[in-house]
Structure 1
């Protein structure tokens, strides 16, 4: 029988159900077959349609009955107020960088590279091999697969200053993405309500991780060249903080890269306070005009806790990162990581290791840098031509975004909202300040889809700013 027959039976039974009281038993399947001159299969199909709509219920061995309509009532979850108690962390809204954009929208707000900038062939092949390999069926070591640990250690050792001893695989803890790694670090060395110093502006995820770790964030003003060592010294002295979170290489969102001298001066300050510096080397693979220079390469006394992720450069689906720490602090971080997530999927670790050790990986990284250079210059040029009111004080030599200063008195949130209404998504700079914003800014990324629409996006932004 066809769908028309099913529909006719469904319509007939709806009439029957409407005239029946809840609990009324329907005629048997045999009776319905005879009444509608249909096959048992067609009748059963009609009954399944009505059961899915919630108007019938089947009782095996007894029959099919008209279901009573549920009584609408308001849900009362008030009991949870007492059980949950006072909020233990500052509520945080979903940051603009994680807001999904419709297909026809010009996306200048997201922080993850478009698929065209990722090593798709390498990733797909690596995941397929990992799924067939032994890591698909066994628990990996809690600190990570030895091969991947060795690779991360060797990468940092390559940047180690002459005379310093580089890290070893035993210093590496593999974590499920840099966000999880940062959370473990902050809980392990800055928890218990203690103060943690952070650059301002800084990565919104670090601010969120600090909130969840229950630490008190103390901002250190930063600029296109990084924070002033004197400010770092003052903040550590006045706050008593023994942890300083920073991004010395192409900071998100400012794009700042510390000079070798500034790196050394800040490290000296951190050492003088007996503190830790958390170095988030998130953009290691996104150098454009200059290579990454990890600050951790100049430290072999355990003051720098180094964090590097492969999530953005390999694939958002491969959430694998490494924390490199030396001395007792590494054990504390490992213990926290184990309590939080036990271990990282062996399949993902194996796939990540496969990708970064493939001969084609270095070629991919080099080509990605060339693409990013073209995209960065295209967006910067579009802003100069169509939105000169949006000032880019410094073109970053790496990373994925431009930090844009708006005219004095502008409301960054309002600008972002009006741009979105016109089909362009931009990141309001407020998300990147641990406390109050020091001025109106936008973060505009050049790693999203369709760079051919940068001119259009900049033109819309310019119109919004001129109408403000």
Structure 2
């Protein structure tokens, strides 16, 4: 049975093909279509966004949606045709577009003089001051002069992998698996990479100590909370031990806390809060909570590394875009960010809870999977004879996209035996159907390969 979203998309395509909506002409208003299909305006907006992504229609602010001129109407992918468990981009209707649009307009007015020049490479002070208040709420106590605004967390990783750190260590130590974007930055910097295995229980702390003791490590890159791709989190005791080893062996840690806003446990302190020796570099991305296109991130740096980092930052782009900085500052100062993160925290907690319930029903004990408390990632371990690349291709043919975990691993650790499911861009109503197809294909391939 078609969803309302799919019915609206199909109706609009028929109207266009029948010539009832001509190129350059306006589509029915969101409110009109909502009444026509007895649905919420948000459902209509999602349907229109599906058409917009296919370049069939385009929006005009304060006016509505219009049919693109000279555009032939090709079949449009609806939600039932493609389920994207690979994308890490939040759904468009779940991002604060209208609020950020208002903040951007206000930033143009507030910072119009700065648009004619360059701003502080460290970031405008008023934003760093707001970030300082935000971090305090996360048990991260820093000062504005230790915070650097970056053009997305990826810029921070690019700079840090190129930076000369105190000591003789040249290699970066990474969890296996880990975020593939960091691996790309380290490779581009020509930085030697060493892996340490991480599973649902964490890492072997004795192995970590051996790496730290070797003197070869420039820094340890870690995602303690909601690891991409496993979705798992370190215990407090593990984080305390990691911080203690960093102090003992004088090794820096780069803590990627990209999903701190989804944390429900108020006692789940980041590594930075447990560091008494200034060895933790804290990196926060805002791409998963507000518009990714703003390219905003922040880094808290130990004093010995701050000037070196800012010199590299200045060489990279002089300063981060003033409008993005101003919009984020206004968004945070107004309280909108706090309200938005409270909303998405509750949303993803319930979404993950439901996804894990579906996993239990659909995958059972035959297909092991991770069980995060929140976040957006679940990893499946495939049966012995089933290869991740083969199941990925088979699922793609059935309109389901997943990620091979080998993308997150160094070549020597790739076994082609796991897939990652990301629930950030799919609706609850799609999860059970998608997971059922995934289970069917895995079990079918297992039977054929035995």
- Partner residue, 2:135: 156
Residue 280 (structure 1) shift: 0.5
Q: Normalized against structure 1, the TM-score is what?
A: 0.73
Distance of 1:331 and 1:349 partners within structure 2: 21
Aligned match of 2:81 in 104, 114, 121? 104
Measured after TM superposition, the shift of residue 255 of structure 1 is 1.7
Asked whether 1:204 is paired with 2:180, we answer yes
Within the alignment, does 1:256 sit opposite 2:232 as a pair?
yes
Distance 1:391-1:338 versus aligned 2 partners, 3 A rule? farther
Which digits, 9 at most, give the CA deviation of each residue in 1:127-182, with x for residues without a partner?
12123332444422111010111222333344448xxxx32111111110001111
Q: What's the TM-score once normalised by structure 2's chain length?
A: 0.76
Structure 2's unaligned 5+ residue stretches are 1-76, 446-450
RMSD over aligned Cα atoms: 2.5
Alignment of 1:393-404 (within 5 A): 393-404=369-380
CA distance in 2, matches of 1:433, 1:147: 39
* Aligned-pair CA distance for 1:392: 4.8
CA contact (8 A) 1:118 1:315 kept: yes
Q: In structure 2, the residue corresponding to 1:285 is in which secondary structure? A: helix
| CA–CA distance in structure 1, aligned partners of residues 132 and 386 of structure 2 | 46
Residues 352 and 375, structure 2, Cα contact 8 Å, conserved in 1: no
Q: Is the 8 A contact 1:189 1:243 kept in 2?
A: no
Query: After superposition, where does 1:19-38 map in structure 2 within 5 Å?
Result: none
C-alpha contact 1:243 1:275 (8 A) present in aligned 2: yes
CA positional deviation for 1:390? 6.8
Q: Counterpart of 2:402 in 1: which secondary structure? A: strand
Cα deviation, residue 377, structure 1: 2.5
The alpha carbon displacement at 1:322 in A equals: 0.8
Contact persistence 1:156–1:167 (CA under 8 A): yes
The alignment partner of 1:242 has SS state of strand
CA deviation after TM superposition for structure 1 residue 103, in Å: 8.5
Three-state SS of the structure 1 residue aligned to 2:217 is: coil
TM-aligned CA distance change 1:211 to 1:224, over 3 Å? same
Query: Contact 1:160 / 1:298 at 8 angstroms: preserved in 2?
Result: no
The residue aligned with 2:119 is 140
Q: Does the CA-based 8 Å contact 2:226-2:377 persist in structure 1?
A: no
Question: Equivalents in 2 of 1:318, 1:291: separation in Å?
Answer: 30
Stretch deviating more after TM superposition (174-183 or 148-157): 148-157
Question: Is 1:319 matched with 2:298?
Answer: no
SS in 2 for 1:153: helix
Q: Measure how far apart 1:284 and its partner are.
A: 1.1
Mapping of residues 180-195 of structure 1, within 5 Å: 180-189=155-164, 194-195=170-171
Aligned to 1:374: 350
8 Å CA contact 1:210–1:217 kept in 2: the answer is: yes
Cα contact 2:370–2:380 (8 A) shared by 1: no
**SS at structure 1 position matched to 2:374:** coil
Any idea what the Cα deviations from partners look like across 1:385-425, whole Å, max 9, x if unmatched? 33337745442123211122222232111111110110000
The answer to whether 1:446 aligns with 2:414 is no
Structure 1 unaligned segments of length 5 or more: list them. 1-99
Query: Does 2:233 match 1:283?
Result: no
What's the secondary structure of 1:156's corresponding residue? Answer: helix
Partners in 2 of 1:261 and 1:312 — Cα distance? Answer: 27
Query: 2:262·2:349 contact (CA, 8 Å) conserved in 1?
Result: no
